[in-house]
Amino acid sequence: MGDTKSTGEGNSALGKKSFKRSKSHFADRVTADGRDGWPVAAGRYRLVVSRACPWASRAVISRRLLGLEEALPMAVTDPIQDDRSWRFTLDPGGRDPVLGIRYLAEAYEAREPGAPGGVSVPAVVDVASGRLVTNDYQQLTLDLATEWRDLHREGAPDLYPEGLRDEIDEVVEEVYEDVNNGVYRAGFATGQEEYEAAYEGVFRRLELLSGRLAERRYLVGDTITEADIRLFTTLVRFDAVYHGHFKCNRHKLTEDPVLWAYARDLYQTPGFGDTVDFDHIKRHYYQVHEGINPTRIVPLGPDLSGWLTSHGREELGGRPFGDGSPPGPVREGEEVPAAGRP
Ligand SMILES: N[C@@H](CCC(=O)N[C@@H](CS)C(=O)NCC(=O)O)C(=O)O
């Protein structure tokens, strides 16, 4: 496997002192008015994800919370990339049954042969043409919450409420810089100083977030928002991969009572934990990043049973879905296999 696989991040600059995540190359948006040529339409697109990937997992959670499963069908890749990147080896015959392709790279090629920036998930693919539409994970969930509104289920929460957008934007920016991407900067650092700066940033921010969440159930307002989804996807991976593999080991998530309870509360909320596959997460990080883990041995721990224990956060109040309701059961065929659950 080459450098791309050893970092697992197609756009990273391995070999330099600092890990850099470049912008998504395909930033078209699927919108209600179709201004980029991609109108919201039920069944027109396929969402390609890896359950291992924190950026893709945001979209998987939003899709469930908003009830977009029928409107935006999903393809789950093998957590282990090969030299051609993400592949559909979990599907019969190794092909995605709808797109008919073996590698996600084929959709990228169909859109722009030889495009720079690597092949990343999440990716939205236009089913009829087989062409990639977007891999802009930052915008994707915001668009699912707002532009796809006509196709939301009844009782879907407002994940990006207009009156709270400034605050959400501010929180997610800090969380992205120090936490979501901070763990990657620590894990892929190739110099001591770089690693230490990232490590300090991760734990400084986690401490602030822990303080913020001590008295309030959710990050912004009193309902689940985009901000909680983005913090959750890093927290749920913390002890399984970031603490050991990425050397973010000042303490474990389970050693911060507030953040651990907050993460468990979300994990146990329909739409969050039922999308998480710890088996995919561990195998992806420990087997793909050979530069960090040359033996590719996947650790057996940590013990996951704590994720299902009571968290006591109901006492803080909050209305998880606001005036809406939780999503129903996971769609048939989309259940996380037993190997990936506590
Ligand atoms: N790097 C992507 C963000 C999403 C991302 O980094 N996804 C990872 C998986 S967590 C990926 O697909 N990396 C490409 C690879 O590993 O080849 C982008 O800038 O658009």
Query: β-pairing, 131-134 with 74-76?
Result: unpaired
Q: What pLDDT shows up at residue 22?
A: 60
Residues 91 and 184 in one domain: no
Q: What pLDDT shows up at residue 19?
A: 79
* 326: in domain: yes
Residues 175 and 115 in one domain: no
* Residue of 53, 103, 108, 242 marked catalytic: 53
Looking at 99, 121, 151, the residue that finishes a domain is 151
Whether residue 122 is preceded by a cis peptide bond, meaning omega within 30 degrees of 0, is yes
Phi, psi (deg, nearest 5) at residue 158: -95, 105
184 catalytic per annotation: yes
Residues 169 and 284 in one domain: yes
* 213: in domain: yes
Q: Using an 8 Å Cβ cutoff, are 125 and 48 in contact?
A: yes
Longest dimension (CA), the chain: 54
Residues 24 and 104 in one domain: yes
Q: Using an 8 Å Cβ cutoff, are 340 and 278 in contact?
A: yes
* 306: in domain: yes
Looking at 101, 132, 151, the residue that finishes a domain is 151
53 catalytic per annotation: yes
Residues 177 and 121 in one domain: no
Q: Domain of 266: which CATH number?
A: 1.20.1050.10
Residues 32 and 172 in one domain: no
The candidate with the shortest Cα–Cα distance to 225, out of 165, 313, 153, is 165
* 156: in domain: no
Q: Domain of 9: which CATH number?
A: 3.40.30.10
Residues 132 and 190 in one domain: no
Residues 111 and 172 in one domain: no
Find the 9 Cα to ligand 1 centroid distance in Å. 5
Is 260 annotated to bind a ligand? Reply is no
- Which residue minimizes the CA distance to atom 5 of ligand 1? 120
Residues 214 and 127 in one domain: no
Phi, psi (deg, nearest 5) at residue 132: -60, 135
Per-residue pLDDT 10s for the chain (342 aa) are 333 333 445 434 344 457 776 667 899 999 999 999 999 999 999 999 999 999 999 999 999 999 999 999 999 999 999 999 999 999 999 999 999 999 999 999 999 999 888 999 999 999 999 999 999 999 999 999 999 999 999 999 999 999 999 999 999 999 999 999 999 999 999 999 999 999 999 999 999 999 999 999 999 999 999 999 999 999 999 999 999 999 999 999 999 999 999 999 999 999 999 999 999 999 999 999 999 999 999 999 999 999 999 999 999 999 999 999 999 999 999 999 999 999
**How many domains does the chain contain in total?**
2
Q: Using an 8 Å Cβ cutoff, are 122 and 47 in contact?
A: yes
Position 333: which residue type? G
Domain that holds residue 258: 162-340
At 227-246, the pLDDT tens digits run 999 999 999 999 999 999 99
Q: Name all residues whose Cβ lies below 6 A of ligand 1.
A: 4, 8-11, 21-22, 24, 53, 55, 81, 85, 118-121, 135, 137
Residues 180 and 315 in one domain: yes
* 294: in domain: yes
Q: Which of the listed residues 12, 81, 120, 236 should we mutate to test ligand 1's pocket, taking the one with most ligand atoms within 8 A of CB?
A: 120
Please identify which residue in the block is written with the tokens 């050397």: 247
* 115: in domain: yes
Residues 96 and 220 in one domain: no
* 157: in domain: no
- Which residue minimizes the CA distance to atom 11 of ligand 1? 120
At 72-120, the pLDDT tens digits run 999 999 999 999 999 999 999 999 999 999 999 999 999 999 988 899 9
Residues 107 and 64 in one domain: yes
Looking at 89, 120, 151, the residue that finishes a domain is 151
Q: What pLDDT shows up at residue 231?
A: 99
CB burial class (10 A; 0-12, 13-18, 19+) of residue 171? buried
* 183: in domain: yes
